[in-house]
């Protein structure tokens, strides 16, 4: 969710650089649907953190089976 104040304080070059990186939120804060954007972003973040945690736990399990206690 974009903050109009923060977005409008950026220079045109900064905005274009962000857009060039593929970042442009579909809505500003307080616009209809902006809350859904935040919920979707958090869902994606939790999904990736879960994947990272599972990979980490697999590595710990493998290292313990091999007799090593450090990663």
Given this model, what pLDDT does residue 68 score? 59
Give a yes or no: residue 42 inside a domain: yes
Q: Which residues of the chain have pLDDT under 50?
A: 1
**pLDDT attached to residue 10:** 87
Query: What is the value of pTM for the model shown?
Result: 0.50
pLDDT score at 57: 95
Range of the domain at 44: 4-65
pLDDT at 66: 82
Give a yes or no: residue 71 inside a domain: no
Residue 29 lies in a domain: yes
Provide the number of structural domains found in the chain.
1
Residue 14 forms part of a structural domain: yes
Please tell me the number of Cα atoms within 13 Å of 4 on its side-chain side.
6
Whole-number pLDDT of residue 29: 78
Going 10 to 13 to 16 to 22, the CA torsion angle's sign is negative
């Amino acid at each position: 969710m974009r903050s109009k104040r923060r977005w409008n304080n950026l220079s045109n070059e900064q905005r274009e650089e962000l857009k060039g990186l593929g970042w442009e939120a579909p809505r500003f804060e307080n616009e209809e649907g902006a809350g859904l954007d935040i919920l979707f972003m958090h869902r994606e973040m939790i999904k990736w953190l879960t994947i990272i945690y599972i990979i980490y736990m697999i590595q710990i399990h493998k290292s313990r089976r091999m007799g090593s206690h450090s990663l």
